[in-house]
């Protein structure tokens, strides 16, 4: 198990180093960072040169990268001109909002998909199985952006039950979390159903029943535990998708989280903030996958022994 954990940790560190290099080069491939901060139509050559000198853009790219990597490892991400504060402080202020939204969306997805998938997998061919397959199909084909607009029109404009934008209490997260969760519901309900169907046909399930165990004991001790192994890895991936999906969901509902901040930074050509947010989101995704790998190793004895 220790060997497995060290291998996953090393892979995560190498991936993080690759992300650091990729973020640095991709931002500079979009054009001159000084020109991104100052509109060319309103700035002369002298002003652009002054901005390049202030940002250290006249140095060789290798020198710029070493300086950038050093700043990142020291926790210094630069200053955001759009939000008029250090990028690190702006990100840490917006992070709890995005985490709350993503966690609420994941809780909705798990609360709907897992019981429905288990029930449908245990009763193949029944009406509940048909409902399970329908929910899985609708969840995977429904556009999140379109669903968000429908929810706003119905619950905010027509019924006036929920606020349409901003953060004003827990009710502000209901529509965004539900809209964000729809894709995860479709993926998880199909996976749960398929895992339960496969496990029900295994020899050890028939052996457990032959020993006189009740259906509840078989389901709880054998089917649910083994199905959770398949779910763990997908839940980690889906959570990173939820973080990525928060970019447009937070923009639609005007929720000041990480996604909204990234959209605003792109619109206002704040390359320092775009660079910092991209690196932060990528790092967070890597940590989630590392935690998923660790949980997978704890649940699956084959990985522990290997």
Please state, in angstroms and as integers, the Cα–Cα distance from residue 240 to each residue in 22, 99, 106, 143, 178, following that order: 19, 11, 10, 18, 16
Provide the CATH number for the domain around residue 144. Answer: 1.10.3720.10
**Residue 32 pLDDT grade (very low, low, confident, very high; cuts 50, 70, 90):** low
Contact 122, 219 (CB under 8 A): yes
Range from 56-65, 104-113, 269-278 that averages highest in pLDDT: 104-113
Contact 148, 249 (CB under 8 A): yes
In a domain? residue 81: no
More confident residue, 44 or 18: 18
Would you state the pLDDT for residue 126? 85
In a domain? residue 37: no
In a domain? residue 33: no
Contact 272, 81 (CB under 8 A): yes
Q: What is the mean pLDDT of residues 208-234?
A: 68
In a domain? residue 62: no
- What is the tally of structural domains in the chain? 1
In a domain? residue 80: no
Instruction: For residues 46 and 207, give the distance between their C-alpha atoms in angstroms, rounded to a whole number.
Output: 81
Q: Would you say residue 173 has pLDDT above 70?
A: yes
Would you state the pLDDT for residue 297? 66
CB atoms within 10 A of CB 136: 24
**Residue 305 pLDDT grade (very low, low, confident, very high; cuts 50, 70, 90):** very low
Would you state the pLDDT for residue 215? 62
Q: Would you say residue 219 has pLDDT above 70?
A: no
In a domain? residue 211: yes
In a domain? residue 200: yes
Average pLDDT of the chain is 79
Would you state the pLDDT for residue 39? 57
Would you state the pLDDT for residue 221? 64
Residue ranges making up the domain that contains 95: 88-268
CB atoms within 10 A of CB 74: 8
pTM passes above 0.75: yes
Instruction: For residues 247 and 176, give the distance between their C-alpha atoms in angstroms, rounded to a whole number.
Output: 11
Q: What is the mean pLDDT of residues 5-12?
A: 77
DSSP letter string, the chain: -HHHHHHHHHHHHHHHHHHHHHHHHHHHHTS-HHHHHS-GGG--HHHHHHHHHHHTTTS-HHHHHHHHHHHHHTT---EETTTTEEHHHHHHHHHHHHHHHHHHHHHHHHHHHHHHHHHHHHSTTSHHHHHHHHHHHHHHHS-HHHHHHHHIIIIIIIS--S-SSS--SGGGGHHHHHHHHHHHHHHHHHHHHHHHHHHHTSHHHHHHHHTT--HHHHIIIIIHHHHHHHHHHHHHHHHHHHHHHHHHHHHHTT--SHHHHHHHHHHTT-HHHHHHHHHHHHHHHHHHHHHHHHHHHHH-HHHHH-
More confident residue, 236 or 36: 236
In a domain? residue 174: yes
Would you state the pLDDT for residue 120? 83
Q: What is the mean pLDDT of residues 223-231?
A: 72
Q: What is the mean pLDDT of residues 101-129?
A: 86
Q: Would you say residue 152 has pLDDT above 70?
A: yes
């Amino acid at each position: 198990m220790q060997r497995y954990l060290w291998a996953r940790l090393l892979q995560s560190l190498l991936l993080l180093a690759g992300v650091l290099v990729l973020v640095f080069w991709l931002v500079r491939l979009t054009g001159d960072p000084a020109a991104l901060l100052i509109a060319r139509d309103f700035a002369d050559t002298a002003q652009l040169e002054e901005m390049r000198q202030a940002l250290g853009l006249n140095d060789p790219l290798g020198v710029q990268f070493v300086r950038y990597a050093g700043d990142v490892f020291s926790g210094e991400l630069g200053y955001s001109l759009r939000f008029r504060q250090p990028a690190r402080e702006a990100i840490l202020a917006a992070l709890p909002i995005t985490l709350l939204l993503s966690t609420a969306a994941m809780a909705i997805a798990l609360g709907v998909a897992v019981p429905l998938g288990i029930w449908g997998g245990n009763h193949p061919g029944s009406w509940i199985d048909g409902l399970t397959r329908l929910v899985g199909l609708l969840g995977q084909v429904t556009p999140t952006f379109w669903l968000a607009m429908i929810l706003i029109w119905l619950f905010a404009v027509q019924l006036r039950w929920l606020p349409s934008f901003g953060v004003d209490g827990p009710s502000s997260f209901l529509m965004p979390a539900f809209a964000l969760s729809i894709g995860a519901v479709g993926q998880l309900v199909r996976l749960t159903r398929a895992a339960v169907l496969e496990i029900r046909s295994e020899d050890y399930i028939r052996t457990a029943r032959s020993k006189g165990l009740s259906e509840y004991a078989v389901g709880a001790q054998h089917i649910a535990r083994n199905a959770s192994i398949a779910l763990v890895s997908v839940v980690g991936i889906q959570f990173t998708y939820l973080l990525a999906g928060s970019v447009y969901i937070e923009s639609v509902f005007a929720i000041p989280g990480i996604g909204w901040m990234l959209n605003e930074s792109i619109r206002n050509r704040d390359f320092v903030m775009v660079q910092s947010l991209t690196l932060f989101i990528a790092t967070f995704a890597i940590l989630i996958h590392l935690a998923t790998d660790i949980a997978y190793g704890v649940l699956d004895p084959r990985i522990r022994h290997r």
